[in-house]
Amino acid sequence: MKKIIIFILLGITVFPAFSQEVYTLEKCKELALKNNFQTKNADLSIEMAKQQKKEAFTKYFPNISATGMGFVFDKPLMTTEVETGYPAPNDKVQVDLIKNTLAGGFMATQPIFAGGQIVNGNRLAKAGVEAGKLQKQMTENEVLLATERYFWQIVSLKEKMKTIEDSEKMLNSILSDVKVAVEAGLTTRNDLLRIELEQNRLASGKLKAENGLQILKMALAQHIGLKNDAFDIYVPNLLSLQDLTGLQGSTSLENEVQNRPEYKLLETSVDIARLQRNMEIGKHLPSIAIGAGYNWVKMDLSRQTEQNKNMGFAFAVVSVPITDWWGGAHAIKRKKLELQQAENTKNEKTDLLLLQMQQISNERDEAYQQILLAQKSISSAEENLKISRDNFNAGVSTLSDLLEAQNLLQQSHDQYTEAATAYLLKLAEYEQVTGGQ
């Protein structure tokens, strides 16, 4: 009974240590978009642009200000003599005026025309929000592509480790046959040493793959916001890949490039440069504003009397820059040149985007052709290994020939794994640059 209880306790404590979350590629992408710091900063940038847009909108409304002040003089600001009506010397008396004063008021100013600066400022702020959203989309694309890259690199190493394990099993089988041959005196111990060297080579490759897998899992964990690398990924079947190269070329690259956030951001940059030019022009145009206000003043006229004065007022202001046009003309010219630069940059970057899309399309097609070649190599290597093993068992070929055939099969499987993961990554890149993601 005690043994049963001990086994149950061991099962309770040990089982959680071996339980790991298994994440698919889609789950990794979801976590990356949710937890990655780059996407969080992109959200903050959009919120900053929205606040700037709200700030620009307040310029449409009146500017209201209030003022108040009070002062006390150690001596009267004014003095005067007042006749008392009594005979001299009491016929006049000196009176202190304006010794203590309180004043306050408010004023509202409403711009009527500001050279279009308010309207263009709001348009500029709106364009800033759009640019922030496009930047976020580009950031998300980069995060998703990096997630794919980490994921498929991990898949590649895991598949290579499986290939090494299969090679180890095959080598153990060969080792058993060679031991029998050595005991029968049909071969020498040199063959056993050759197999031992081959086992060491596989062990070395397995160790490198395990270390690389650990580093990649740590990198993926940091990328998708996990606290540790105590997780595993779902490895899809790489042997049933379909040819998707012809299914994604139905539209021209010239049309597809317009769906890319990079292209839309270039267009937005041109719009921003145009609005900045208009803003500069508006700085040097006449401005018109109207306003109204109300003031209140309380003054001590003497020790016994005080006077309150209340007054309202309205005004209109017309400001016409004159000498400012001298320097302003050069500033406007500079903004026009910056607009031309933005248009030239858009044209250049658009050509580079098209070139990038064509390059990725070619690399995607090439990657699938590499898969087909790798499949042929596996078939040839399997047939070669079968013949080499039969010849070795028949005594018409050496152990070196058999080990070489086994190495060729391992290399063919590794080649297929690299080609398959490269193809899947190129598919993701192509979908991204054509607006598929």
Indicate left, alpha or beta for 61 from its phi (over 0: left) and psi (-120 to 50: alpha).
Answer: beta
* 233 plus 296 within the same structural domain: no
**Cα 262 → chain centroid:** 13
**For the domain that residue 249 is a member of, what is the CATH number?**
1.20.1600.10
The per-residue pLDDT for 415 is: 95
In a domain, 16, yes or no: no
| Residues 238, 278 share a domain | yes
43 and 77 part of one domain = no
Strand (E) or helix (H) holding 134: helix 117-183
One domain, residues 90 and 185: no
Q: Which domain holds residue 86?
A: 61-113+286-320
Q: Any idea what the Cα angle at residue 57 is, between residues 54 and 59, rounded to 5°?
A: 130
pLDDT at 267: 96
In this structure, are 148 and 66 located in the same domain?
no
How many other CB atoms sit within 10 Å of the CB of residue 267? 15
Indicate whether 135 and 238 sit together in one domain. Answer: yes
Closest CA to 169 of 206, 215, 143: 206
pLDDT attached to residue 2: 41
Q: Tens digits of per-residue pLDDT, 238-288?
A: 877 766 555 444 457 888 899 999 999 999 999 999 999 999 999 999 999
Pair 94, 236 in one domain: no
Q: Write down which residue in 320, 345, 372 finishes a domain.
A: 320
Q: Do 146 and 277 belong to one domain?
A: yes
Instruction: Decide if 255 is inside a domain.
Output: yes
Identify whether residues 296 and 420 lie together within a single domain: no
Q: Is residue 15 assigned to a domain?
A: no
Which residue positions in the chain have pLDDT lower than 50?
1-18, 247-250, 437
Question: What's the pLDDT at 306?
Answer: 64
Q: What is the DSSP letter of 19?
A: -
Q: Kindly report, residue by residue over 292-332, the tens digit of the pLDDT.
A: 999 988 876 655 556 678 899 999 999 998 888 888 899 99
Residues 343 and 351: their CA atoms lie apart, in Å, by: 13
pLDDT at residue 98 in the model = 66
- Among 320, 341, 363, give the residue marking a domain's end: 320
Which of 320, 346, 375 is the endpoint of a domain?
320
Q: How many domains does the chain have?
A: 2
Q: Which two tokens stand for residue 189?
A: 């111990």
Flag whether 3 is in a domain: no
Asked whether residue 120 falls in the same domain as residue 27, the answer is yes
pTM equals 0.80
User: Could you tell me if 127 and 241 lie in one domain?
Assistant: yes
Q: Are residues 394 and 416 in the same domain?
A: yes
